[in-house]
Structure formats: C-alpha cells, structure tokens
C-alpha cells in the first residue's frame, strides 16, 4: 500500500492490482486505498475483500502442495489480538487447525477470550487452537484467573490451545526480565501446564444446538482505516446474549450469506450488531429470510445505510425498518438513548424486523442488570432458549496446586521466591556474615574484595539487588556486577563465617562452566580450626554454558564456619559462580 502511494508508476503489478480491486470489488470506482491514512471506507472494503481472496487462494495452493507430500496437519496464519474481518469461513480450504491470538481485557466482567474463540470456531467450522495470552503481558493474572480464561476457550468450542510464555513486559522494560513464565511465575506456570495435561485427557464439552445467529459484517468492519481498533458491537452482542443471558447461537458472516454456504432458514432469528456498509446481495438475502418467516434483530440504527460502492440503501431501510428510520444519524444519539430498550417491530412478509434506535451492544450497557433482564425476556419472546449449561463449564479448581516455599532459613539473605513476576523476599535473615576466598577470582573479581566480604556487599550474595538493577543483556548492568569467575584451574575454597553456630541444612550453588564442574566438598567447623565434612558432590564433565543450580545437602553438628572447596579442573575450563545460598534448618538454632 505504501508502494502504491509512492511508487505505483514504478511497478506494473501494483497498477494491475489496483485495476483488479477496482473492477472486481470496487464497482469500477474504488481501488487500493491511496495511503494508510485514506479515510474512504469503500476503498478499504474493496481492497480487503481482494486481499482476503488472494490470500486464501495462495494458502490453498500451499495446503494442497503440502497434503500431496503426506498426511501433515496444517495450521493457519496467526492473527493478533482483536477480531478481524478476515474470511475465516474459507479456512477449511487451506488449513486443518485455525490459530488466533487471544489478548484479554483487564476487566473480569468482559470475556474477549470467549468471544474471539467462538467467532473463529463458528466461522471456520474446523478445529481451533488459539494462543492464550495469559502470561505476563496484558496483565499479571492469578492462577484462578488463568483457569477462568482457558475455560472460556473450551466452553466456546476450541479443541486445543497454545501459550506464548515469554516475558514480554520484562523485555520491554529491560529490568526484571526473567525470560519466561517458568522462572518469573511458577505459580502460573503450574496451572498452565496442568491445563495442558487436562486438555489431552478430558472429553470435549458437549455444545448445544444453536437456535439463532449473530451476523458478523466483514464489509463493515473492513471499512476502517489501517491500524484502527475494530468496533466492539459483535463482542458485546456475544457477551450479553451468551454468558449473561445464557443463549446459544452461531456466528455467521456476510461472506457465507453472499456465497450461499449458510442456510438462514436454520435459525429462528438473526441478530445484526453492526452493519452500516453491506453488499446488496447480502441485504437482499436477509430481506428474503424475513419475508419467509424469519426474525431479523437489527441493533445498529445505521445498518444497511450504504452498499459497498457507496450507494444509498434508503429503499431497503424503509422496507426493513420503516420510514421513521430513514434520516437517522449519529447526532440523534441522545434522543435515541431514552428508547434504547424499546425496539420497533416491522412486519415483512411472514416475518418481523426488530429495530433498535440506539445500539444496546455497548460496553457500559451490557453489564447492566436491566439490559440483561431485557434481553433475557426478549430472547424468550423470540422463542429462543436461555440458560444453557455450557456457560457454566469450567476446569476444576483443584488443578491449581500450591508451588510451595523452601523450608528453613537462608543465612546469606539472598533467596528470592517468585510469584506472578513479583520478587518475594521470604525465608531470609540478615546476619553479620562474611566470606573469604583462598584464591581470589582471576576472571571477574568480587566487588566486595577477596577476604571478609560482607554478605551485604559481595557478588556471591547480592541477588536481591538484581530485580531493580536492570538486565545485563540489555546493557542496564554489567555481568561482573553479579558474578565471579576463575580462569585458573587450581583448587580453591571459599570460607563463610556465619557469626554464630547454626544447624545447617544445605548449600545452593548457582554456576556455569565451560566444560567441567569440579568436585565440591563442604566442610563445617565451630572454631575455624577443626573441620568435618558435611556434604560433597562428584565432578561433572557435562558442559554447562547455561546457569546451573546445585543443591548440596548437609549433615553433622551445628557449625559457625562453612568451607566450600572446589577441586582442580582440566585445563581451559572457565568456572563462573553467580550466587551461593547457605540454609539453616531453623533460625532458633542460632548460636549464643
């Protein structure tokens, strides 16, 4: 499109595409939008219809090509966040499974996960495995909220899902980035993985038979300029008629009506939440549906104002809604508001058209009890069932398990427990402890020195400063602010003075190495002279370029001094120590 704006004279293909858009979709008048800011709705409608068809044709060729080579499952492309006027009703031509990102609202009374899922399930008619953005992104959801969001997906007909467990917030902030859910939100990761296991084992929810339809107008939603946030009328129609009232419906779109791939007579009623622009053949088929005995509920007071080539629909509006609706425009909104829940009824043939002079499917209205009560009664008047049990489907709450916290007390004061990407400083105690190296690190040195390094100042015990300091990989801090490293392969030891005797439980080492982790021996002493072995681990020759966590259980008498000895290593293996934690069984064991 930008090339069309600035370089169309240089590319014959773009000029040909413009002519095709204009001739086939734009009534001989409307071609490709002149720029990304072009506010002519008819050019956008024509261009998007052309683009949807071309894209579906290309994907269909790819699908047939792949299928000719084996029984592979093909996923669709991956639309982001909101609903889009894509031609999902053609999806079965080019894929086996539809994917779609789900971006949640922050307000719990609105159910966008469910809306997008049902929209795509109904239009595509094939399996839908959406990407549930329950990670640290739109909000920091609790495990209970994650369970509800994923329940929305499956109560609306999805048969699978996928996650994006990346720490997007941390990456953007360049501070407190923990890469993924596993590290930053183990509480949320637990339920995310438990849900995956449950999904692979459970029976699929039994969905009711739809007795009415909601028409999604690709023409009207396709009229917006590039980058516009789509209107929410269809979403709020879903919310109040589905979760709040308990009816069960099927989303259909204008493409299906135009192609004749949907039988309107299968539905007792058809709702139109938003459709100011609509193809003539679609409106004509809706008129025929009503004349044959159907019920058309038009929530959009400006519905069918123009066809997709900009021509007035006054005659059709008179026939459907009565002449009082002819001159209605947005300036009448305040007057219409007082009659929002008093739709007019026009008899047409054997059926009826119900026309709202103000759209009831708005964010602030659908959560009101009086609006919900009205639609509950209105649905019954139309002969439609309410209160379907499917809206109560939820995964069992007992899938959520406590992740637990470690027992004991961290004497070095550097333990962090993460939940929901929040650092919780628990199980720590502040003591006047120090540590001393037998051989000072000859790679990255310790900022606290080589002897009598206070726990509050040393690089081996400063983890609690990290969440606010900024990530090394983004240049917000330096690696040598946080680690020490050894190039020398000689044996060395680090001796900790705990400033009192404790009944010790374990040592935790966080390290990486180029090719070999040396054997490690932990010794304890009450006086710093007589030492007894409390724990040890053998040498490990497995490469560990990533950070490793090694727990060494300890046993023996209470000790004030702890000496961690590292054996010699093979030549050329760099050893990096990031953090050391020393754990006591309980604080009450502190010495005198």
Identify the H or E element spanning 18: helix 12-20
**Spatial separation of the C-alpha atoms in residues 199 and 160, rounded to whole Å:** 7
Angle between helix 143-155 and helix 112-124 axes, rounded to 10 deg:
20
- How much is the pTM? 0.90
* Structure confidence at residue 90 (pLDDT): 95
Structure tokens belonging to residue 441: 């690190």
* Structure confidence at residue 591 (pLDDT): 42
* Structure confidence at residue 544 (pLDDT): 60
Neighbouring C-beta atoms of residue 110, cutoff 10 Å: 19
**Spatial separation of the C-alpha atoms in residues 530 and 525, rounded to whole Å:** 6
* Structure confidence at residue 287 (pLDDT): 97
Contact indicator for 400, 190 with CB cutoff of 8 Å: yes
Q: At which residue do the structure tokens 């000859």 appear?
A: 442
For the chain, which ranges sit under pLDDT 50? 333-334, 589-592
* Structure confidence at residue 545 (pLDDT): 67
List, for residues 390-424, the tens digit of each pLDDT value.
999 999 999 999 999 999 999 999 999 999 999 99
* Structure confidence at residue 99 (pLDDT): 95
Q: What is the number of residues in the chain?
A: 592
Which among 575, 583, 589, 416 is positioned nearest to 496, based on CA atoms? 583
* Structure confidence at residue 227 (pLDDT): 84
Which among 429, 562, 435, 452 is positioned nearest to 504, based on CA atoms? 562
List, for residues 189-230, the tens digit of each pLDDT value.
999 999 999 999 999 999 999 999 999 999 999 999 988 888
Distances (CA, A) of 335 to 329, 339, 354, 372: 11, 8, 19, 22
Structure tokens belonging to residue 80: 């982001």
DSSP string, 292-320: TT-EEEE--TTTTSB-TTS-B-HHHHHHH
* Structure confidence at residue 588 (pLDDT): 60
* Structure confidence at residue 515 (pLDDT): 74
* Structure confidence at residue 266 (pLDDT): 98
Please, which residues bridge with residue 549 across strands? 510
Q: Which residue ranges form the domains of the chain, and what is each CATH number?
A: 1-66 (no CATH), 209-387 (3.40.50.880), 409-589 (2.60.120.260)
DSSP-derived secondary structure letter, 94 = T
Neighbouring C-beta atoms of residue 425, cutoff 10 Å: 14
**Spatial separation of the C-alpha atoms in residues 545 and 512, rounded to whole Å:** 6
Neighbouring C-beta atoms of residue 119, cutoff 10 Å: 23
As to burial, measured by CB atoms within 10 angstroms (0-12 exposed, 13-18 middle, 19+ buried), residue 174 is: middle
Contact indicator for 312, 305 with CB cutoff of 8 Å: yes
The gap from C-alpha 278 to its chain's centroid, in whole angstroms, comes to 32
**Spatial separation of the C-alpha atoms in residues 286 and 290, rounded to whole Å:** 6
The gap from C-alpha 207 to its chain's centroid, in whole angstroms, comes to 24
Neighbouring C-beta atoms of residue 373, cutoff 10 Å: 13
């Amino acid at each position: 499109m930008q090339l069309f704006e600035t370089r169309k004279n240089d590319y014959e293909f773009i000029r040909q595409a413009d002519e095709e858009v204009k001739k086939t979709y734009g009534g001989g008048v409307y071609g490709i939008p002149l720029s990304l800011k072009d506010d002519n709705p008819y050019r956008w409608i024509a261009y998007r219809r052309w683009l949807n068809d071309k894209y579906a044709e290309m994907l269909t060729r790819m699908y047939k090509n792949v299928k000719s080579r084996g029984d592979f499952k093909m996923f669709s492309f991956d639309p982001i966040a909101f609903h889009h006027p894509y031609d999902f009703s053609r999806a079965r031509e080019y894929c086996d499974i539809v994917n779609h990102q789900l971006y949640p609202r922050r307000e719990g009374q609105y159910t966008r996960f469910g809306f997008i899922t049902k929209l795509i399930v109904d239009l595509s008619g094939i399996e839908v495995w959406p990407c549930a953005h329950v990670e640290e992104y739109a909000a920091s959801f609790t495990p209970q909220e994650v369970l509800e969001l994923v329940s929305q997906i499956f109560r609306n007909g999805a048969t699978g899902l996928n996650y994006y467990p990346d720490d997007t917030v941390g990456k953007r902030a360049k501070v407190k980035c923990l890469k993924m859910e596993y590290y930053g939100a183990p509480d949320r990761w637990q339920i995310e993985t438990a849900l995956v296991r449950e999904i692979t084992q459970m029976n699929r929810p039994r969905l009711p038979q739809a007795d009415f339809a909601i028409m999604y107008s690709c023409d009207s939603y396709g009229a917006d300029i590039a980058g516009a946030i789509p209107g929410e009328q269809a979403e709020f129609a879903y919310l109040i008629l589905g979760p709040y009232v308990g009816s069960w419906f099927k989303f259909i779109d204008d493409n299906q009506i135009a192609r004749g791939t949907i039988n309107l007579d299968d539905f007792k009623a058809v709702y139109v939440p938003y459709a100011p622009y609509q193809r003539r053949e679609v409106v004509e088929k809706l008129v025929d549906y009503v004349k044959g005995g159907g019920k058309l509920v038009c929530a959009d007071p400006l519905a069918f104002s123009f066809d997709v080539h900009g021509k007035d629909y006054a005659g059709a509006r008179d026939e459907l809604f009565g002449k009082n609706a002819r001159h209605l425009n947005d300036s009448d909104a305040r007057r219409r508001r007082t009659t929002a829940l008093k739709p007019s009824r026009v008899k047409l043939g054997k059926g009826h058209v119900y026309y709202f002079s103000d759209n009831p499917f708005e964010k602030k209205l659908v959560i009101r009890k009086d609006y919900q009560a009205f639609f509950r009664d209105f649905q019954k008047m139309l002969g439609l069932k309410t209160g379907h049990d499917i809206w109560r489907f939820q995964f069992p709450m007992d899938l959520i398990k406590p992740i637990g916290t470690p027992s004991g007390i961290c004497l070095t004061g550097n333990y962090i427990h993460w939940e929901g990407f929040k650092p919780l400083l628990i199980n720590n105690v502040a003591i006047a402890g120090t540590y001393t190296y037998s051989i000072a690190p000859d790679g990255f040195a310790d900022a606290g020195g080589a002897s009598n390094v206070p726990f509050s100042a040393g690089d081996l015990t400063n983890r609690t400063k990290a969440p606010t300091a900024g990530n090394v990989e983004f240049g917000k801090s330096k690696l040598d602010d946080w680690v020490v490293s050894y190039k020398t392969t000689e044996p060395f030891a680090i001796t900790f003075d705990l400033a009192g005797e404790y009944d010790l439980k374990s040592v935790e080492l966080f390290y990486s190495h180029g090719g070999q982790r040396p054997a490690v021996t932990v010794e304890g002493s009450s006086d710093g002279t007589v030492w007894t072995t409390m724990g040890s681990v053998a040498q490990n020759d497995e490469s560990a370029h990533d950070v490793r966590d090694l727990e060494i259980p300890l046993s023996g008498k209470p000790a004030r001094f702890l000496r961690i000895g590292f054996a010699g290593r093979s030549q050329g293996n760099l050893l990096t120590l990031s953090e050391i934690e020393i754990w006591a069984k309980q604080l009450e064991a502190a010495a005198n």
